[in-house]
Chains A and B, each alone.
Chain A
Amino acid sequence: DTEVTQTPKHLVMGMTNKKSLKCEQHMGHRAMYWYKQKAKKPPELMFVYSYEKLSINESVPSRFSPECPNSSLLNLHLHALQPEDSALYLCASSRGINGNQPQHFGDGTRLSIL
């Protein structure tokens, strides 16, 4: 069982839709991450939150909008996505952003853009 919970597990949306991905952890971690992963490829970092503040944005298009309402929750708001945005979206958390603190991943949300 994963300690990082992502919902929904699957999402199909049109290019004009607005949807949100949700990530939750109750391990007391203060750093949370969004990754995008294409099939057979490594995860690509999108955003990092540390103590509910955005600390890294890897030049992600504005159609992806992250939000960290509290230390346990991380959302990714989606709007006007493109077909190439279809991918597995992984959330992760760690105690902090120190290098020796491993990231714990959720099961991901499989996103398909029609």
Chain B
Amino acid sequence: AQTVTQSQPEMSVQEAETVTLSCTYDTSESDYYLFWYKQPPSRQMILVIRQEAYKQQNATENRFSVNFQKAAKSFSLKISDSQLGDAAMYFCAYRLPLRNQGGKLIFGQGTELSVKP
């Protein structure tokens, strides 16, 4: 069975600093997709960044980047120049291709990030 583990229930970062959130996953598949979602207190789950397992290049979206280590099954999220609006619960998620379980999204337990001014 596929599992996603986020080992840091809470993290804190100073405004303008950099923080890295950890995520590991367990799978026997070679083809899959990884996502980071952000959920602020407003409740909406917002897609932050995604990575295809077949791509070696790490995905980046402005201040957000990932360190994808396929052999180690690790998918960490780096937030640079942290802003107060980055404070949220961050979920790492894993998804199989269509042929497996209809593309079901499997979430980690989440990391609550606080940003100090």
Question: A90 and B45: CB pair below 8 A?
Answer: yes
Q: Which residue of A42, A88, A108 contacts B108 across the interface (Cβ within 8 Å)?
A: A42
Question: B44 and A107: CB pair below 8 A?
Answer: yes
Residue B117 at the chain A interface, CB threshold 8 Å = no
Q: Are A41 and B43 also in contact (CB < 8 A) when A56-B104, A102-B50 are?
A: no
Residues of the B chain whose Cβ atoms lie less than 8 Å from the Cβ of A103? 47, 105
Chain B nearest Cβ from A99, distance in angstroms? 4
Residue B64 at the chain A interface, CB threshold 8 Å = no
Q: Are A105 and B44 also in contact (CB < 8 A) when A56-B101, A99-B98 are?
A: yes
Cα A41 to Cα B9 in complex, Å, equals 10
Interface-side segment among A17-25, A43-51, A67-75:
A43-51
- Interface residues of A: mostly helix, strand, loop or mixed? loop
Question: A99 and B33: CB pair below 8 A?
Answer: yes
Cα A102 to Cα B91 in complex, Å, equals 14
Q: Which residue of B89, B97, B102 contacts A50 across the interface (Cβ within 8 Å)?
A: B102
Query: In which size bucket is the chain B interface?
Result: 20 to 34
Question: A42 and B91: CB pair below 8 A?
Answer: yes
Total CB contacts across the A-B interface at under 8 A:
67
Residue B25 at the chain A interface, CB threshold 8 Å = no
When C-beta atoms are compared, the residue in chain A nearest to B101 turns out to be A56
When C-beta atoms are compared, the residue in chain B nearest to A9 turns out to be B43
Q: Which residue of A90, A101, A105, A108 contacts B103 across the interface (Cβ within 8 Å)?
A: A101
Q: Are A40 and B89 also in contact (CB < 8 A) when A99-B95, A107-B42 are?
A: yes
Which of A31, A55, A99, A110: most chain B Cβ within 10 A? A99
Residue A59 at the chain B interface, CB threshold 8 Å = no
Q: List 15 A-B contacts (CB under 8 A).
A: A42-B91, A48-B102, A48-B104, A55-B102, A90-B45, A96-B98, A97-B102, A97-B103, A99-B31, A99-B98, A99-B100, A100-B33, A105-B44, A105-B46, A107-B43
A: residues with CB less than 8 A from B are 2, 31, 40-43, 45, 48, 50, 55-56, 88, 90, 92, 94, 96-108, 110
